[in-house]
Amino acid sequence: MKRRSPYPVIRFLLLALYLIAAIFPLYWIFITSLKGPKEIYTMPLQYLPNNPSLASYRKLFSFSNFSTYFRNSLVIALISSLLAMAVSIFSGFSLSRYPTKRTKGALQLVLYFTQTIPTFIIMVPIFTMFSRLGWVDRTAALMLVYVATVVAFSTIMSKGFFDRIPTSLEEAARIDGCSMFQSLWRVILPITRPGMAAIFCFAFINIWNELFLAVMLLMSNDKMTVPVALNSFISKAGISWDVMSAGIVIALLPTMIVFGFGQRYIVAGLTEGSVKG
Amino acid sequence: MEKTHYRWMLVPTLLFLVLFIYVPVVRGGVMAFQHYNLFDLSTLRFNGVGNFISVITDKHISFAQILLNTAVWLIGSLTFQFILGFALALLLRKPFAGRGLYTAFVFYGWALSGFAIGLTWAWLFNGQAGLVNDLLIRLGVLDQPIGFLSNPRLAMMSVIIPNIWYGVPFFGIMLLAALQSVPNELYEAATLDGAATVRKFISVTVPYVKPTIVSTILLRTMWIVNFPDLIYAMTNGGPVNRTNILATQMINKVFKEYDYGQGSAIAVIIMLLLFVYAVLYLRIVEDSKEELL
């Protein structure tokens, strides 16, 4: 006779406990954003808001240009991740099919090494370079830097996705008279669409979350991104946590949505190669 | 002919990397040896190792303190991220109803901004009306709220806890993927040999996932040392420099003092330390492999 193991019960309890710990801080910032300015500072705290309202969100958007910041972030993250995706489709495909082993290995090494360079190390030289070029406070210039910060890992991911597609497919297309670009465009890309979506999501999340380069390179108020705006709230006297929490929720939501879409592929991509973040 | 195509396809990516990563890295290396203050560009000149000396002998901010803080921040965060992440991966190894959904939820943390998470935890640890204070008062541990982030003795712990929270999913994802690649036959064979659960863990699981452990710990070390966002949001190195690590000190040199020379010198110090660490770490791992054989 087999004794019933207590393991499933213990496991259930531990996993439940972990889930609560993982979610509660996010729940708390969300709940705070629905409370009034007096309620959030009154102890003992309310774990469910008495009169949930969107007043702090209204305050956030009226007292600052938050809709502008949100739009800036969205435009910057969308355009740079699309660009990063496009660029890394080519480089990933090329790396996956590159005929010379030595070059291929060397290039991969460079890509992995690039992964270990943190963005805050390049922010000062980028700033001095850009001020000489007159590129400081230009959204387009910041987008170029953002593409560069994600393109190494995007290429590693994209190579991984192309590696899984047998070369016989392109060879067949070539026999049918397709050029290399045509076979990439018409035959291979349609199959790797989920993989490309994962690259886009990865790039979007990293770019949306970036703070220091944006603080360094953007000057005008109407060009600020969401993280830069939150950063400026910290130093602004009189900013209360009801408005701040609303800003945090808005900063967190887009990447959560994007991660929700790309989660399966991102996790697969992350576990394959080296990882940033 | 064929090869030329493949070469051209690499050009855009390489251009981005060279222009916006590698040229700046080299430029930063040069700036570390220049007197370069944005307030006074007329004094721009090479000053040898002057920046390094200024950073290391700073009277207001002890460099030894910053190194110690960086070590505590790293070891405290890494140890618990690893242990909890490994535990999580082990709990998730065997399938159960809803595992996919659970995993998705837990790994959400990966997508969140470190800065916004820092702000969130600054609110949780708030000295007036923070959730942590409220919970501890309800439990009878505290009589009245305390300032976790303004108390020099509690501040480091209060920034490490969120970092652990933030980093567990990474180890969870990576180790779970490795655990799922352990062939079941190995466990079956061990069971036939009469191995107990603990024995199986030590002799089957750990050796099999060791390469993943080695690489994730190395990657994560670099990442934690290079992660100023969370501390920047919560304490910005304070109170009295108790949470000031190399990375936040560099940010402060740049954002507050506009001293790009000293800021770059700190960046160079970080890169050098991590390089030495990586070499030593990999050597130790290699040696221990030989001993086991």
* Cβ of residue B99 closer than 8 Å to a chain A Cβ: no
- Our CA-based measurement puts residue B288 at a distance from the nearest CA of chain A, in whole angstroms, of 23
Flag whether B27 is in a domain.
Answer: no
The CATH number covering residue B79 comes to 1.10.3720.10
Average pLDDT of every residue of chain B? 90
* Cβ of residue B39 closer than 8 Å to a chain A Cβ: no
Name B101's Cβ contacts closer than 8 Å, sequence gap at least 6. Answer: none
Of A38 and B66, the one with more pLDDT? B66
pLDDT (mean) for B253-273: 93
Least trusted range by pLDDT, from A60-74, A127-141, A254-268, B207-221: A254-268
φ, ψ at A112 (rounded to 5°): -65, -40
**Residue B291 pLDDT > 80:** no
Here the ipTM equals 0.90
Query: Which of B5, B10, B14, B31 would you mutate first to test chain A, the one with the most A CBs within 10 A?
Result: B10
The percent of residues in chain A predicted with pLDDT above 90, rounded, is 50
Q: Which residues form the domain of B173?
A: 64-257
Q: Which helix (H) or strand (E) holds B150?
A: none
Tell me whether residue B100 is exposed, middle or buried, using C-beta atoms within 10 angstroms of its C-beta: 0 to 12, 13 to 18, 19 or more: exposed
Flag whether B56 is in a domain.
Answer: no
Tell me if A209 and B112 make a contact (CB, 8 A cut-off): yes
Which chain B residues contact residue A93 at CB under 8 A?
A: 9
Flag whether B100 is in a domain.
Answer: yes
* Domain A56-272, classified CATH 1.10.3720.10, yes or no: yes
Flag whether B179 is in a domain.
Answer: yes
Nearest to B54 by CA among B64, B63, B43: B63
Angle at A195 between CA A192 and CA A199, to 5 degrees: 135
Nearest Cβ partner of B134 from A45, A152, A180? A45
**Residue B78 pLDDT > 70:** yes
The ranges assigned to domains in chain A are: 1-53, 56-272
Q: Which helix (H) or strand (E) holds B35?
A: strand B34-35
Name A136's Cβ contacts closer than 8 Å, sequence gap at least 6. Answer: A127, A130, A217, A219
Count: domains in chain B: 1
Tell me if A209 and B126 make a contact (CB, 8 A cut-off): no
Tell me if B124 and A25 make a contact (CB, 8 A cut-off): yes
Nearest Cβ partner of B111 from A100, A144, A205? A205
pLDDT for the residue A42: 81
Per-residue model confidence as pLDDT tens digits over B135-158 = 999 999 988 999 999 999 999 999
Searching chain B, which residue's CA lies closest to the CA of residue A97? B6
Least trusted range by pLDDT, from A78-87, B3-12, B13-22: B3-12
The DSSP secondary-structure symbol of B37 reads: B
Which chain B residues contact residue A159 at CB under 8 A?
A: none
Judge whether B85 and B169 are in contact, CB under 8 Å: yes
Per-residue model confidence as pLDDT tens digits over A156-202 = 888 888 888 888 888 888 888 888 788 888 888 888 888 888 899 99
Q: Which residue has the tokens 């190195």?
A: B237
Q: Helix crossing, A241-272 with B114-124: angle to 10°?
A: 130
Taking the CA atoms of residue B51, residue B53, residue B57 and residue B58 in that order, the dihedral angle to the nearest 10 degrees is -10
Nearest Cβ partner of A28 from B27, B111, B131? B131
- The size of chain A, in residues, is 277
Flag whether B31 is in a domain.
Answer: no
* Cβ of residue B7 closer than 8 Å to a chain A Cβ: yes
Residues 46-65 of A with CB under 8 A from B: none
Residues 187-206 of A with CB under 8 A from B: 205
The percent of residues in chain B predicted with pLDDT above 70, rounded, is 97
pLDDT (mean) for B28-34: 93
Residues 195-254 of B with CB under 8 A from A: 215, 219, 222-223, 226-229, 232-233, 247, 250-251, 254
Confidence of residue A36 (pLDDT cuts 50, 70, 90): confident
* pTM for this model (two decimals): 0.91
Q: Residue A206: left (phi > 0), alpha (psi -120 to 50), or beta?
A: alpha
Judge whether A88 and A196 are in contact, CB under 8 Å: no
**Residue B293 pLDDT > 80:** no
Judge whether B45 and B34 are in contact, CB under 8 Å: yes
Per-residue model confidence as pLDDT tens digits over A131-161 = 999 999 999 999 999 999 999 989 988 888 8
Query: Which of B3, B4, B9 would you mutate first to test chain A, the one with the most A CBs within 10 A?
Result: B9
Tell me if B120 and A25 make a contact (CB, 8 A cut-off): yes
Per-residue model confidence as pLDDT tens digits over A237-266 = 667 888 999 999 999 999 999 988 887 777
Flag whether B70 is in a domain.
Answer: yes
pLDDT for the residue B88: 94
Flag whether B244 is in a domain.
Answer: yes
Nearest Cβ partner of B263 from A14, A124, A275? A124
Which SS3 state, helix, strand or coil, does residue B259 take? Answer: strand
Going from the C-alpha of A139 to that of each of A76, A164, A228, B189, the distances in angstroms are 7, 37, 13, 60
Judge whether B63 and B57 are in contact, CB under 8 Å: yes
Confidence of residue A121 (pLDDT cuts 50, 70, 90): confident
pLDDT (mean) for B16-37: 94
Taking the CA atoms of residue B111, residue B23, residue B264 and residue B152 in that order, the dihedral angle to the nearest 10 degrees is 10
